[in-house]
Amino acid sequence: MFSVKVPASTSNLGCGFDTFGLALSLYNEFFFERSDRFIVEIEGEGRHLHKDENNLLLKAYLKACEYFGKDPKPTRVVQKNRIPTGRGLGSSATAIIGGITAFEVLHGEKLSQEEKLKLSLSMEPHPDNLFPALLGGFVISLWDGERLVYTKLDFPEDIKVVVAVPDFELSTSMARSVLEQNVSLSDAVNNIQRASLMVACLCNKEYHLLKEAVKDRLHQPYRAKLIPGFFKVIDRAYQEGALAVFLSGAGPSVASFSNRNFENIGKAMVRAFEEEGIIAKYLLLDVDQEGAKVYEGSHS
């Protein structure tokens, strides 16, 4: 038996659409043992997910087998999911990275990071969640369908991520369908300026500028229409001292950076959702620096 532990992630971070990703200290764990057939059991979040070979983790494993010309080895998989599904926290990325990592272990293969990343991108063409799930930390990634470029930067240790998670799912396809396919020059410049500012702010620890750095014009204004109370949630978090507040991935979760008042920020964000008739909870998370990890035996 072995297990694979993969972190959640928040992506975009406001201004870095399809580019910035940050691994978080919330994990899905996948436990594998040999079997005569594929069996999937799910505990925790996402119990509605497929439990046959349409399960995303198994699909990633089988795709790796096909890609590298290996015969699949049937396994029993127990998924202990702590990451809410369809909330913009990278739950699907954990399954894809988990399946590819399981392939390495089951077949004694050692894939390069680039091989794993390109294989994962063939299943989900959005590196901003996949790369942090594999690598951990703050990752800036570029993928144009052919060229793969990424770098991992240090993230300030004194910043935590407070995430308000509303009690409804929002599919990435739905969240993408509302986006404009053509943007104005001024909107493009806005995001280039602020994405650059965010990197500089984090490197220099100029936290007072982060609120300006997350002001996005490419995706948040459009996706806000799908999330009741979105701007109210943001305002309440800033009132409690948040450094930066932004939509987590495609949403509907809203994330904030802070170095103080963590509980107050979380409670204020939840209350804002509740005023719109939406049940929500908050998570207080650190940045995961390690990414996907393999454990022998029955680690949990």
CA distance 113 to 270: 38
Residue 47 pLDDT class (50, 70, 90 cuts): confident
Query: Phi and psi of 60, rounded to 5°?
Result: -65, -40
For the cut 90, the answer to whether the pLDDT of residue 283 exceeds it is: yes
The pLDDT of residue 300 is 53
The 10s digit of each residue's pLDDT in 203-231 is 999 999 999 999 999 999 999 999 999 99
pLDDT above 90 as % of the chain = 90
pLDDT of residue 172: 87
Q: Is the pLDDT of residue 55 over 80?
A: yes
Domains of the chain: 2-153+289-296 (3.30.230.10), 160-285 (3.30.70.890)
Count other Cβ atoms within 10 Å, centred on residue 80. 17
Percentage of the chain modeled with pLDDT above 70: 99
- pLDDT confidence bin for 129, thresholds 50/70/90: very high
Residue 298 has pLDDT above 80, yes or no: no
Structure tokens at 240: 């409690």
What pLDDT is attached to residue 85? 95
Token pair of 45 as six digits: 């979040």
* pLDDT bucket at 299, cuts 50 / 70 / 90: low
Q: Tens digit of pLDDT for each residue in 162-209?
A: 999 999 999 888 999 999 999 999 999 999 999 999 999 999 999 999
Enter the tokens of residue 262. Answer: 């963590």
The contacts of residue 141 (CB under 8 Å, 6+ apart) are 19, 21, 127, 128, 131, 148, 149, 150
Question: pLDDT averaged over the chain?
Answer: 95
244 near 214, Cβ under 8 Å?
yes
122: pLDDT confidence band, cut at 50, 70 and 90?
very high
Identify the burial level of 230 via C-beta atoms within 10 angstroms of its C-beta, where 0-12 means exposed, 13-18 middle and 19 or more buried: buried
User: Between 56-68 and 91-107, two packed helices, what is the crossing angle to 10 degrees?
Assistant: 40
- What's the pLDDT at 147? 87
Rounded CA separation 286/14 (Å): 18
CA dist 92 and 250 (Å) reads 13
**CA–CA distance, 199 with 218 (Å, rounded to integer):** 18
- Closest CA relative to residue 156, chosen from 193, 212, 204, 194: 204
